Structure formats: structure tokens, C-alpha cells
Amino acid sequence: MLTETPFRPREKLLEKQRLFQSIHRHTYLKGPMDKITSVAIPIALAASSLYMIGTGIYNMSNGIGKKE
């Protein structure tokens, strides 16, 4: 019977497990790039949507930016 080689060496896997178990943060913020995907991108989306809403309200209140 053939056995499949693992994607990562066992030592690396045990090292990563020890690292993640020692960090006392939420699970979705434990990785090195997780702050970008869980914090920065939602903040950027919220900021851009608030800007567009504000621009729309300003244009509607002043009657500008209408299509002919």
C-alpha cells in the first residue's frame, strides 16, 4: 500500500500548532495576514460606502449631479 507524502513536514506542523495554541487572541486573528482580511478590508469598505452615501446626500440636497 502506498502512503502519500504530507504537504508539510511533521516538525513544521507541530511548531505551527504550538505557536497558534500559545497566542491568546481570537481564532480569526491568529495568522500573520489575518488583520488585513478581518480588519482593514471591512474598515475600507465601510469608509468608502459612508463617503459615497455622504456625497449622494450632498448632491440630492443641493440638486446637483442630476442626469438630464
Which residues, other chains included, contact 35 with Cβ-Cβ below 8 Å and sequence gap of 6+? 29
* 2 has pLDDT over 70: no
* 1 has pLDDT over 70: no
Task: Write the single-letter amino acid at 57.
Answer: I
* 15 has pLDDT over 70: yes
Average pLDDT score over the chain: 84
pLDDT at res. 60: 94
Evaluate whether 38 touches 29 at the Cβ level (below 8 Å). Answer: yes
